[in-house]
Amino acid sequence: MQKLLLATIFILIAGCTTTPSTKLNEVAPKSNNPKESEEIFNVKDYDELSLPAFSTKEFNGRDLKLGKVLERTNLYTRYYITYKSADLTISGIMNLPTGDGPFPVLVLNHGYIDPAIYTNGRGLKREQDYFAKEGYIVIHPDYRNHAESTKVEGYQQDLRLGYTEDVVSAVYAVRESNLEYFDKENIGMLGHSMGGGITQNILVTHPELIKAAVLYGPVSSDTRDNFDKWGRSNPDRGDIILQNHGDFDQAPEFWDNISPINFFDNIKVPVLIQQGTADESTPMKWADKTHRAMLEAGVDVIYNTYKGEPHEFIKMWPQFMSSNLEFFDKILKKQDTEIIEPVDEFRSRINLKEFGTYVTPDSSPVEPERFTGYHTGVDIEYTDVTQDTEVLAITKGKVLYGGRVNGYGGVIILEHELSGQTYSVLYGHLDPRSLTNNSTVEKGERLGVLGAGYTEETDNERKHLHFSIKPGTDTDLRGYVNTSSELKDWINPLELL
């Protein structure tokens, strides 16, 4: 406390000699949201270093400043930033999407990197860029003692509550900012490893600060696990923490009160846990435990595991990111990511040609057959249905192609965004006269009706829908390809529907 007071006085004096008005404002800022979450704990004599005490602390995150441009792409610009967390200056980066906004905001909390080697913006670079490309403002705080942030003594001994304060302050600094492109109502958070622990601290102490959280290979929600793995062996940290607070058996209450797992009842927003099964740094049993405890506490939690993935995902990183995006889009952009079936009884009526079925005129489930090759989609059969069969857009999309094509009769190809990926989706054998004239369609909008069997409406095919999904935006009309390697350019529609 004495140290803090001295620092304050020093700033005050320094401030008076330069620009008194602004500097004075900085030493006595108003609190962001005084005691917002006091109600959630029955605060009594908690140790100052405890989650209950942290929840009642006054924060004054403010003064978000954009510094130099670090990188400029077509889709976003990367800035060096600083903001204030109590009397500290915290550095970081911000990726700002191109356009007017407002854009929802994601705060990314990086994992442990030795502050001696850490540099500005390090830790989640791939994720920062990905989310910015997808229309999120990304704020990545460096934390105190990292990069250009203020250095504080004893920062290793606070069991990460100092870093947690810096992240809470980042959110308040966004809320206080006058920059108009922030969608301040929609702020989410992703934390990796130690950053996942910081995120858990925030979820239980400031339940309404953010709207959704991803825990990516998070440290344990029981701080004892983390201390056993990394704290105890580090004499600069472990010995001092044990001297100040006592070991697990001596001070069980202290360790309980610094562990988010004991306060999961407070969590009010959806949580997505993403865990690699081969993570040697933060083992899967920790995520298992966190997930179980969240379920017991009634948290709206999804738990995804990724087979064979280590602490930082490699092979399944694209799937990991599209599931993060789907999760955040649903909550922060209120995007409807569910897709519907293009025709009734979609699955049960796929009974002749599946995805990848190989046909020739001599061997085919249908007679007569005029094609040869691997089937690029699925056929949904309606020979037995005489009334009109409507074909609907599976989600909103853009019309890439619509018209009559040999082998199909009427065809419409739509561009759809599914889980953050772009696909060209072909709906074939429609009555050409029924095709929509719109250039964009909403989910469930009628594209047309199936052509009548063995007429020019279907180019003399059965009454059925040929339905295929190809990543990208090609208007590729092929219903069959010659080799199995060409077939890899399409995906099995049943994987998405």
Nearer to Zn ion, 61 or 377 (CB): 377
Pairing of strands 301-306, 271-276: parallel
Report the nearest approach of Zn ion to the CB of residue 468 (Å).
8
**Is residue 429 part of the contact set for Zn ion (CB under 5 A)?**
no
Alpha helices of 367-497 — where are they, by DSSP H?
A: 484-487
Nearer to Zn ion, 127 or 379 (CB): 379
Q: Judged by CB under 5 A, which stretch of 176-184, 264-272, 314-322, 377-385 contacts Zn ion?
A: 377-385
Report the nearest approach of Zn ion to the CB of residue 416 (Å).
19
- Say how far apart CA 69 and CA 81 lie, in whole Å: 9
- Say how far apart CA 237 and CA 195 lie, in whole Å: 18
**Is residue 461 part of the contact set for Zn ion (CB under 5 A)?**
no
Nearer to Zn ion, 165 or 379 (CB): 379
Q: Judged by CB under 5 A, which stretch of 185-193, 267-275, 415-423, 458-466 contacts Zn ion?
A: 458-466
Q: Judged by CB under 5 A, which stretch of 150-158, 214-222, 371-379, 405-413 contacts Zn ion?
A: 371-379
In what helix (H) or strand (E) does residue 125 lie, and over which residues does it extend?
Answer: helix 125-133
Q: What are phi and psi of 452, to 5 degrees?
A: -70, 145
Nearer to Zn ion, 379 or 457 (CB): 379
- Which residue's CB atom is positioned nearest to Zn ion? 466
Reported as half-sphere exposure (CB side, CA atoms, 13 A), residue 222 has a value of 16
**Is residue 470 part of the contact set for Zn ion (CB under 5 A)?**
no
Between the alpha carbon of residue 428 and those of residues 188, 220, 408, the distances in Å are 40, 51, 6
**Do residues 204 and 179 make contact, with C-beta atoms less than 8 angstroms apart?**
no
**Is residue 379 part of the contact set for Zn ion (CB under 5 A)?**
yes
Q: Judged by CB under 5 A, which stretch of 13-21, 199-207, 372-380, 443-451 contacts Zn ion?
A: 372-380
In what helix (H) or strand (E) does residue 242 lie, and over which residues does it extend?
Answer: helix 238-245
Quick one: which of 416, 463, 466, 478 contacts Zn ion (CB under 5 A)?
Answer: 466
Report the nearest approach of Zn ion to the CB of residue 472 (Å).
20
Q: Judged by CB under 5 A, which stretch of 128-136, 308-316, 461-469, 480-488 contacts Zn ion?
A: 461-469
Nearer to Zn ion, 182 or 467 (CB): 467
Nearer to Zn ion, 463 or 466 (CB): 466
Question: What mask, x for binding Zn ion by CB under 5 A, covers residues 88 to 127?
Answer: ----------------------------------------
Q: What are phi and psi of 272, to 5 degrees?
A: -120, 120
With CB under 5 A as the rule, give the number of residues binding Zn ion. 2
Report the nearest approach of Zn ion to the CB of residue 464 (Å).
7
- Say how far apart CA 479 and CA 467 lie, in whole Å: 9
Nearer to Zn ion, 7 or 452 (CB): 452
Report the nearest approach of Zn ion to the CB of residue 485 (Å).
20
Helix/strand/coil (H/E/C) assignment for every residue in 259-322: CHHHHHHHCCCCEEEEEECCCCCCCHHHHHHHHHHHHHCCCCEEEEEECCCCCCCCCCHHHHHH
Q: What are phi and psi of 364, to 5 degrees?
A: -160, 150
Helix, strand, coil percentages (3-state) for the chain, rounded to 5, are: 30, 25, 45
Q: Which residues bind Zn ion (CB under 5 A)?
A: 379, 466
